[in-house]
Every structure is written in structure tokens, then in C-alpha cells.
Amino acid sequence: MMLTILVRNELEKTWRSRWMVFAVLAGLFLLIAAGLYSFYVYHDHRWSPPPPVAWQTQLRSDIANNQSTLDNLQVVKQQAGTRGRTLFNGRALNDAEAQLHQAIAADQYLIDHDIAPLSAYSMTRAALFGFGGIVMFLLVRIFGWLASEQIAGERSDRTIAILLSRPPSREQVLLAKAIASFLISLAVVLVSFLVAYAIVAFIMGSLGPVTGQVGIAIDGSKPLNPDNLVTMPILLFLLMCIGAAMLAVLCVQGMSLLISVLTTRWAAIGITLAILFGASLLSGVVAGIISLIGSAQSAHFLNYAFFNVLAPVGSIAPVFGNGATEVGKGMHEFGSEVATLAVWTVGFFAAAWFFFRRREEAG
């Protein structure tokens, strides 16, 4: 009962103090939708959605396109033999050729076995775009910022003393703040998904089915076969994506709350945003240096850093394009990122709880 009251209080405080952030987010969603629609009208010279295309037809078209690219590649390869060129679209010729062969084989396998890829339907594609793309990248950082103010803001406003002197325990206060942060972010994420779904459905010309099965590669680096493919209902896939995306949000909120417990408002916001924006960049530089010195495999340990796995949905399959498989994508990678996030999330919340219940508020 007390927890419910505290959560209600936290929701009210967040809304009343930060409604402008949510208004800006809503405006941003509208702008993105309007921009995409304008581009569509300009590009396709039509105001209404295009006619829907069956996924089998789309895959056959992709096979034809990939075959054409492969033919071009053969020509480039022959020329490279005489001119010494070894790259095609920035990749080694043999790698590019192998990847195209694999993509064609994967598409053909899906057609032959009547298994729809994730790109087949509006809902699954919107899930990949909404939960694994740039939108989620930004949202996670905004949620981190908001959570970092939860306790540090009260400390800066001097309200923490009165709040903690009241009957609820510190554990209840912390838990209520975590739950309120999570509920707000869940609402925003679901709205952003609905916007993404509407946009994708418009582009694909159909809302698509909500029942039926989709196929996902287990290891995107290997050819599709019965041992390297998992099928699941569309709605289950959607739930899986929501769960993974919210786990990433929860992980960031755990980190932000930990920082919030230890500092004051501006320090908490600064440290949180520095980690969320700077750490993955720094990690990329470190990975580059390690790759130059040794092998890319040597930098693999960086995949255990939470800031490098904040978009696990993006690791299921390519967000854009029609590829069913890709190196570094698939359920295996997804599971690994989710497990990494889960461990960090538990660690962050445990540390926040540990420090908050012992911290003295000297004013």
C-alpha cells in the first residue's frame, strides 16, 4: 500500500517537473513521422501508401538484386586481378562474395520452407526499428538522465531530508523511484513503438498480420538450416523485443539511480550522460587500438560492458534492409547481450540499495 502511494507521488513529481521533456519527445515523434511522410511523397510521387507486397515476392526480388550484385562483383573481381584492387564496397572481395552467396541461400531457404523473415511484416520490422534503432538509443539516454535526478534532485532541492524523515523506509523510497522511472519509460517506449509501427505499416502498405510465425537466425554468421533457425509467433517476438528493450532501460536506470544516490543533481546528470554518450565512444577507440595491435577477438571483452549492449534488439537482425542473416546478428548474440545486461542491472540496483540505506544526509 505504502509502495503504491510512493509510486503515485513519484509519478506526479516526475510529470509535474519534467512535462516539458515529454512534450518535446511527442513533438519529435510527430516531426519524424511528418518528415518521413514528406520524403515518401517526394520520392514516390504519391500521397497514399503503396500496395502491399507479399514477403515471398520481396525475397525473390532481393535474390535477384543480390544475384545482380554478385555478377557485378565477378566483373570487379576479374578487373581486380589485373589492376590489383581487392575491395568491393569497402569489403574484401572474397568476403563480399561469400556474404552475398549466404544471403541468397538464406532467402531461398526461407522461401522453400515457407518461413517468413523478420522483415516480412510491419509489426516485426517496427519492433526491430522501434526497439533496436536510433529511437531507442536516444530514449535510453533520456531515461538515464531522468533517473539520475530522482534522488540527487531531491538532495539539491533539500526535500530529501523531509522525505526520509517520514515513515516510509529508504528501501521503499528507492524502490518507488525505480518503479516510477520504469513505468514512465515503459509508457514512452510503447508510444514510440506505436509511432514506429504506424510509419512502417504506411511504408509497407499494410498493418500486416499479428498472428503467424517468423524465423530468426541463431548465428547470423552461418548459413540458415534447421539447426540454425528458430521460429516464433509474431506477438511473442514483439514481447521479447519489449522485454529486452526495457531491460536495457532498467539497466541504465539502475546505473543512474546509483549515481543519484551518491551525488547532487548536476553531478549526477553530468556523470550519467558522460557515461552513456562517452563510454561507448571510448570503448570503440579502445577496440580499434586493440584490433590494430592484436586481433579483433582480443577486444571481445568489451562486449561485457553494459554500455556496449544497450540495444540488444538491434543484435537480432539488421534493422534496415531485408537480410535474414548477418555476421554478429542472431538469437545467440541477443541472448548473450540480454544476459550481460541482466547481470549489470542486478549489480547496479544492489549497489544503489546498499549505499542509499547507509548514506547519511548531512544537508
Partner 1 sequence: MPAIVEVDHLTKNFGSVRALDDLSFSVAEGEVFGFLGPNGAGKTTTIRILLGLLRPDAGTARIGGHDCWNDHSRAAPLFGATLEQPGLYGYLSGRDNLRQFARIVGPVNERQITDLLALVGMTERADDKVKRYSMGMRQRLALAQALLGRPRLLVLDEPTNGLDPNGIHGLRLLLRRLASEQALTIFLSSHLLSEVEELCDRVVILHRGQVRAVGPLVELMNSKGYVYQIDVSDVDGALAIARSIDGVRAERGTPSDSITVFSDTDLARVINRALVTAGIEVDQLVRTQRGLEDIYIELTGVPSASPLSAPPSEVAVP
Q: Which is nearer to partner 1, 61 or 159 (CB)?
A: 159
109: number of Cβ within 10 Å: 20
- 295 contributes a contact to partner 1 by CB under 8 A: no
Instruction: Give Cα separations from 352 to 9, 169, 177, 260, 281 (angstroms).
Output: 20, 15, 12, 9, 26
Shortest Å distance, C-beta 152 to partner 1: 14
> How remote is the C-alpha of 92 from its chain's centroid?
29
Shortest Å distance, C-beta 363 to partner 1: 5
Shortest Å distance, C-beta 171 to partner 1: 10
Coil, helix or strand for 215? strand
- 168 contributes a contact to partner 1 by CB under 8 A: yes
Judged by CB under 8 A, which of 84, 90, 167, 226 binds partner 1? 167
Return the amino acid letter for 194: L
Q: How far apart are CA 206 and CA 88, in angstroms?
A: 35
Q: Which is nearer to partner 1, 260 or 325 (CB)?
A: 260
Three state DSSP letters for 50-85: CCCCCHHHHHHHHHHHHHHHHHHHHHHHHHHHHHCC
Q: What does DSSP say about strands 213-217 and 116-117: parallel, antiparallel, or unpaired?
A: parallel
- 158 contributes a contact to partner 1 by CB under 8 A: yes
Judged by CB under 8 A, which of 75, 285, 292, 362 binds partner 1? 362
Give the DSSP per-residue string, 185-250. Answer: HHHHHHHHHHHHHHHHHHHHTS---SSSEEEEESSTTS---GGGEEEEEHHHHHHHHHHHHHHHHH
CB within 8 Å of 337: residues ≥ 6 apart: 244, 303, 309, 312, 315
Question: Looking at 9-17, 48-56, 58-66, 325-333, which segment touches partner 1 (CB under 8 A)?
Answer: 9-17
- 74 contributes a contact to partner 1 by CB under 8 A: no
Shortest Å distance, C-beta 340 to partner 1: 36
Judged by CB under 8 A, which of 48, 82, 89, 165 binds partner 1? 165
- 354 contributes a contact to partner 1 by CB under 8 A: no
Shortest Å distance, C-beta 355 to partner 1: 13
Question: Looking at 4-12, 252-260, 283-291, 303-311, which segment touches partner 1 (CB under 8 A)?
Answer: 4-12
Shortest Å distance, C-beta 147 to partner 1: 18
- 69 contributes a contact to partner 1 by CB under 8 A: no
Per CB under 8 A, residues contacting partner 1 are 2, 5-6, 8-9, 12-13, 16-17, 157-169, 358, 360-363
